[in-house]
Amino acid sequence: MFIDEGLSPLRSEPTSLPAQVMTNPTTDREQMVQSQLKARGISDLRVLNAMRRVPRHEFVLESHRSEAYEDRPLPIGDSQTISQPYVVALMLESLQIKTTDSVLEIGTGSGYATALLAELATRIFSMERHRDLADTARNTLTALGYSNVQVLTGDGTRGLPDEAPFDAILVSAAAPSIPSALLSQLREGGRMILPVGSPDAQQLQFIHKLNGQPIISFRESVRFVPLVSSVIKPE
């Protein structure tokens, strides 16, 4: 399966649902859960229920609200996207997040995945390099009542050493390899998921840290925006 998180048309199976007018967000979310998540094998009840609760339409541009529960990524400004619901659910389910976990998210974007993480864990630290996106996400999360989240502006490749170690790390941008700083900030026994590869060929990698070493398993092929470092600029 190939899942495209960029602005090009979705190329995964099954094909995207047709465009629809959002008439009842609760009904639209349930349809999303049933047809896009459960039908594709997402079975973690905590993840499914979180995605039933979080209003995705609050995290998209006003011009795209009628498309908020469709089976595809959407633009959110600054050449960034809100990820396809299935991809978010897959990454969250892979992390097996516990209520007591401290979680680091790299790539806040609109704050949608941040809100889902806040439904699942006690402490969420989210980093975004685009200040305007970080400000918007912070305001949306606050308006929705999420008080266990800190949204910070900074270089996600460096992580957040002052708050480490983390039980889980979710990276929503593609790195050419696993960032060593993030691995070092992962608690022994911790879990991390991120897309790894070139701009045109990426694969989700799940990392379980055991005896200080990354145990890697490979998941779906995807295409995310690049993870940008303030030290090494993309060509």
Residues designated catalytic: 83
What's the count of helices (H) and strands (E) in the chain, helices before strands? 6, 10
Between helix 112-120 and helix 131-143 the angle, nearest 10°, is 50
Residue 184 backbone phi and psi in degrees, to 5: -70, -25
Q: Do 54 and 112 meet the contact criterion of CB atoms below 8 Å apart?
A: yes
Calpha distance 169→127 (Å, rounded): 11
**Three-state secondary structure call for residue 123:** strand
141: Cβ contacts below 8 Å, ≥ 6 apart: 111, 114, 115, 118, 149, 151
